[in-house]
Structure 1
């Protein structure tokens, strides 16, 4: 009986030790992940309440990218999306659009947050206003690299993901983003009216895309 108890204890220690070794090795020295060879295919149309779809245009880039166009009450809405699955490329985009790193002035981007969508930024550039955010798996939207990394530690390290990670079916840290840029012109609109329109659209857009985030 004592022998069996000793063997069982040793087996449990070995099993947990192996699990933590694999997790630790993956966290400290993750295998480099290349850009996907078969690009993620964006749907040609995405339903958007109270807006009429006009057209969509795919771009032949290394990073899958598409531009959706909608109209409502003579207002033209553009939504550009990029699917990025490489950590270095994502970090570069975060640095580019981090509101804290932008120029100072009246048109400096503002970082905002909604309970249902997470963080995003709004900005006026010449005669258009923009809303930008990264839709990321299992987590609220983000607009800074620090927010993104915090989400990875908070939402990627879940017990339900342990087996897929150990089997090599999923990466320990999921570095993917669906970058989303919404914009409308300022024709016949005040800046505040334009921001309100974009924030309303963003809520619907996020709620459609987040549960449909691409599988690995």
Structure 2
């Protein structure tokens, strides 16, 4: 008990100094709280091993209001690939301040929604890459995941939050946050939605999607702009 009593005063002093420092920064630096968005540009071509790209077109921007950035446009692009008689669609969209909800991303980006008690989603895990979901809808097989700026891919908000706690709450980042240089949490995500016609058994279709996504993951995960 005496140990904690001795520790209490230094902790209170440390907390007071930090609060005073941050408050001073907010008062003296007019740029704090005014975050500029670093644009994300989707290239016209994206390599995918063992597939031939046959088309590429931008998706309509999703315009949303997000603090502390204000009105933000989330860009996206669709890529089409061919392998023998299979045609693969890859929709990618950059989101600046996501909560990591894969079901909501499917609803927003693919205009698909499912009853909670009848969801066809199967959440899977790859030890090297992270979490993703697969499902079948109207004779198409889908694979969906949120590629994180730090940590493996995720599909649910709890998985996304676990990455933020593990990779964002580190001393160098906390120090920059105290200086007003960046946000404490990096909530960015590249949502990837892969799909193809169900011309083969479901298990084979899932395997094809997984191989394509595994092959492209490293390319996408290295494309986050600095913030």
TM bracket (short chain): 0.7 to 0.9
Aligned partner of 1:118 among 115, 127, 130:
130
Q: Is the contact between residue 39 and residue 63 of structure 1 (CA under 8 Å) also seen in structure 2?
A: no
Distance between the aligned counterparts of 2:223 and 2:152, measured in 1? 14
Checking the alignment, whether the CA contact within 8 Å between 1:33 and 1:86 is kept in structure 2 is no
Query: For 1:144-155, what aligned pairs fall within 5 Å after superposition?
Result: 144-155=156-167
Q: Matched residues in 2 for 1:22 and 1:47: separation? A: 48
Distance 1:60 1:42 in 2: 13
Distance 1:142 1:71 in 2: 27
Tell me how far apart the structure 1 counterparts of residues 15 and 100 of structure 2 sit (CA, whole Å): 33
**Match among 99, 105, 128 for residue 140 of structure 2:** 128
- 1:92–1:197 Cα change, 3 Å: closer
Match of residue 208 from structure 1: 219
Aligned pairs, number: 193
In structure 1, stretches of 5+ residues that fail to align are 1-9, 24-30
Describe how 1:27-176 pairs up with structure 2 within 5 A.
36=37, 39-61=39-61, 62-87=73-98, 90=99, 94-95=103-104, 97=106, 102-105=115-118, 108-176=120-188
Q: Is the 8 A contact 2:102 2:155 kept in 1?
A: no
CA-CA distance at 1:104 after TM superposition:
4.1
Q: What do the CA deviations read for 1:71-101 (whole angstroms, capped 9, x no partner)?
A: 11121111101111134xx456554659xx8
**RMSD between superposed Cα atoms in Å:** 3.1
Under a length normalisation based on structure 1, what TM-score does the superposition of the two structures give? 0.76
Aligned partner of residue 54 in structure 2, secondary structure: strand
Q: Is the CA contact 1:95–1:145 (under 8 Å) kept in the aligned structure 2?
A: no
- After superposition, the C-alpha distances for 1:44-97 in whole angstroms (9 at most, x for unaligned) are 11111111111211123132111011111121111101111134xx45655465
- 8 Å CA contact 2:101, 2:155 repeated in 1: no
After superposition, the C-alpha distances for 1:120-176 in whole angstroms (9 at most, x for unaligned) are 000000110000000011111000011111111111012232333233332101111
Shift of 1:14: 5.6
Q: TM-score, normalised by structure 2?
A: 0.73
Change (3 A) 1:84 1:40: same
Q: 1: CA distance between counterparts of 2:136 and 2:158?
A: 24
